[in-house]
Amino acid sequence: MRSVFVDPDWHRRGVGRLLMAKLERVALEIDIGLLIVPSSLTAQEFYKALGFRLVREHQEGEERTLIMERQLRT
Protein backbone atom coordinates (compact mmCIF):
# COMPACT_ATOMS: atom_id res chain seq x y z
CA MET A 1 0.00 0.00 0.00
CA ARG A 2 1.28 3.44 -0.67
CA SER A 3 -1.13 5.64 1.27
CA VAL A 4 -4.68 5.84 2.53
CA PHE A 5 -6.23 9.22 3.25
CA VAL A 6 -9.68 10.16 4.52
CA ASP A 7 -11.01 13.69 4.23
CA PRO A 8 -10.88 15.31 7.70
CA ASP A 9 -14.65 15.93 7.51
CA TRP A 10 -15.06 12.13 7.54
CA HIS A 11 -12.58 11.30 10.31
CA ARG A 12 -13.84 9.17 13.23
CA ARG A 13 -16.77 7.79 11.20
CA GLY A 14 -15.35 4.39 10.24
CA VAL A 15 -14.43 5.29 6.67
CA GLY A 16 -10.74 4.49 7.15
CA ARG A 17 -11.56 1.14 8.73
CA LEU A 18 -13.88 0.28 5.83
CA LEU A 19 -11.22 1.19 3.28
CA MET A 20 -8.60 -0.88 5.08
CA ALA A 21 -10.97 -3.86 5.42
CA LYS A 22 -11.60 -3.77 1.66
CA LEU A 23 -7.87 -3.53 0.92
CA GLU A 24 -7.26 -6.53 3.18
CA ARG A 25 -9.95 -8.60 1.43
CA VAL A 26 -8.53 -7.77 -2.00
CA ALA A 27 -4.99 -8.54 -0.81
CA LEU A 28 -6.07 -11.96 0.43
CA GLU A 29 -7.97 -12.67 -2.81
CA ILE A 30 -4.82 -12.08 -4.84
CA ASP A 31 -2.67 -14.04 -2.38
CA ILE A 32 -0.86 -11.15 -0.69
CA GLY A 33 -0.09 -12.11 2.89
CA LEU A 34 1.68 -8.99 4.15
CA LEU A 35 0.55 -5.37 4.09
CA ILE A 36 3.19 -2.66 4.44
CA VAL A 37 2.22 0.98 4.78
CA PRO A 38 4.18 4.21 5.24
CA SER A 39 2.51 6.07 8.10
CA SER A 40 2.71 9.57 9.47
CA LEU A 41 3.02 10.07 13.21
CA THR A 42 -0.60 11.22 13.16
CA ALA A 43 -1.86 7.98 11.60
CA GLN A 44 0.30 5.61 13.66
CA GLU A 45 -2.38 4.91 16.29
CA PHE A 46 -4.97 4.24 13.56
CA TYR A 47 -2.77 1.57 11.99
CA LYS A 48 -1.84 0.10 15.39
CA ALA A 49 -5.55 -0.27 16.18
CA LEU A 50 -5.87 -2.28 12.95
CA GLY A 51 -3.10 -4.66 13.97
CA PHE A 52 -0.15 -3.05 12.21
CA ARG A 53 3.20 -2.90 13.96
CA LEU A 54 6.08 -0.49 13.55
CA VAL A 55 9.01 -2.11 11.74
CA ARG A 56 11.24 0.89 11.09
CA GLU A 57 11.44 4.65 10.71
CA HIS A 58 12.53 6.51 7.61
CA GLN A 59 13.79 10.09 7.68
CA GLU A 60 14.02 12.14 4.50
CA GLY A 61 14.91 15.74 5.19
CA GLU A 62 12.36 17.07 7.65
CA GLU A 63 9.86 14.32 6.89
CA ARG A 64 9.72 11.33 9.24
CA THR A 65 7.82 8.29 8.01
CA LEU A 66 6.96 5.21 10.04
CA ILE A 67 6.97 1.93 8.12
CA MET A 68 4.31 -0.35 9.52
CA GLU A 69 3.24 -3.85 8.56
CA ARG A 70 0.48 -6.35 9.22
CA GLN A 71 0.74 -10.06 8.55
CA LEU A 72 -2.44 -11.39 6.94
CA ARG A 73 -1.32 -15.01 6.67
CA THR A 74 1.01 -17.06 8.79
Largest CA distance in the chain: 38
Could you read off the pLDDT of 29-73 as tens digits, one per residue?
Answer: 999 999 999 999 999 999 999 999 999 999 888 889 999 999 998
Q: Map out the domains of the chain with their CATH numbers.
A: 9-71 (3.40.630.30)
Q: How far apart are the first and last CA of the chain?
A: 19
74 vs 65, higher pLDDT? 65
Give the three-class secondary structure for 36.
strand
